[in-house]
Amino acid sequence: MLRRKPLEEDENPDRWLVSYADFITLLFAFFVVMYSISSVNKGKYTQLTYSMGTAFTGNNPPKPPQNSHSAADSKLKSQPKSFIKPLPLSHLYAEKMRRERESMTNMGIGLSNTLAPLITEGKLQVVQNNRGIRIDIHDSLLFTPGSAEISASATGLMNEIATVLKSNQRLIQVEGHTDNIPIHNATFFSNWELSAVRASSVVRMLSVAGIAEARLSALGFGSAQPITENETLNGRAKNRRVSIMILYETQNQEDSALEIMPNKTSNQ
């Protein structure tokens, strides 16, 4: 029988040190690469910040300090300038708002000139605010006391206002207001109903005058939004009014909506 040769013993038991050294070398190289990636060129970062600020604001902020001894800055200077002009988003928005406000101001001036006699008598007022143009009409020009039916004498006034409003497509919100004297009769339970029905009557007349119904809406505020005190006869007379708001928004703007669903866990 042939005997197997005994396994030869490893002559160098320290060979594991070679693999360990290779591992340490690779680990060192890895950290060197990570450090080099994390290092930021301050000159290039400053130039990038300046360019982005110019592109998004349209302004010219102070230029970053230039270092004559920096090779990176010298290289940036030698590169050709971009032919792409910055996009002044804030300037475009500001210009759009300026045109909107100017258009509203011109509309308000036209209404003031048309309704000048009534404005002089203090029975009507044209105001521009952050919502648009507001026309405050004294209730005596439109209704008899305690009634929501527009009088026949108000037809000419409403037609003059409608002629100006038909020249654009802006939304119109009619708001009814009363004084703080309560009302309670067979027709109106309170000032809320009276103000809402009066606003609806004005909306109906504007619709008859040719203004699209999609532009119109009616609100009743009762005595909740007075423009002066209610302690005097003159003050209460000013608070009894119908306001026609010509809003900045137009009917062509889409209304974005997000449906909110109930939380199923809350019902359990």
Q: What is the pLDDT of residues 32-46, one digit of tens each?
A: 777 777 666 666 667
CA–CA gap between residue 139 and residue 123 (Å, rounded)? 9
What type of residue sits at position 3?
R
pTM: 0.61
How confident is the model at residue 195, as a pLDDT? 95
For domain 96-250, give the CATH superfamily: OmpA-like domain (3.30.1330.60)
The structural domains of the chain, with segments of one domain joined by +, span 20-61, 96-250
Q: What percent of the chain shows pLDDT beyond 70?
A: 69
Residue 219: partners with Cβ closer than 8 Å, 6 or more residues away: 173, 174, 175, 176, 196, 199
Phi, psi of 135 (to 5 degrees): -110, 110
In whole angstroms, how far apart are CA 125 and each of 15, 18, 140, 215, 218? Answer: 100, 95, 14, 22, 19
How confident is the model at residue 224, as a pLDDT? 94
CA–CA gap between residue 216 and residue 12 (Å, rounded)? 97
For helices 89-114 and 42-57, give the axis angle rounded to 10 degrees.
Answer: 20
What type of residue sits at position 44?
K
Gyration radius of the chain over CA positions: 38
CA–CA gap between residue 144 and residue 147 (Å, rounded)? 5
Strongest mean pLDDT among 83-97, 172-186, 239-253: 172-186
Give the model confidence (pLDDT) of 81-136 as tens digits. Answer: 555 555 566 777 778 888 888 888 888 898 889 889 888 888 889 999 888 999 99
Residue 31: partners with Cβ closer than 8 Å, 6 or more residues away: none
Residue 213 and residue 96 in contact, taking contact as beta carbons nearer than 8 Å: no
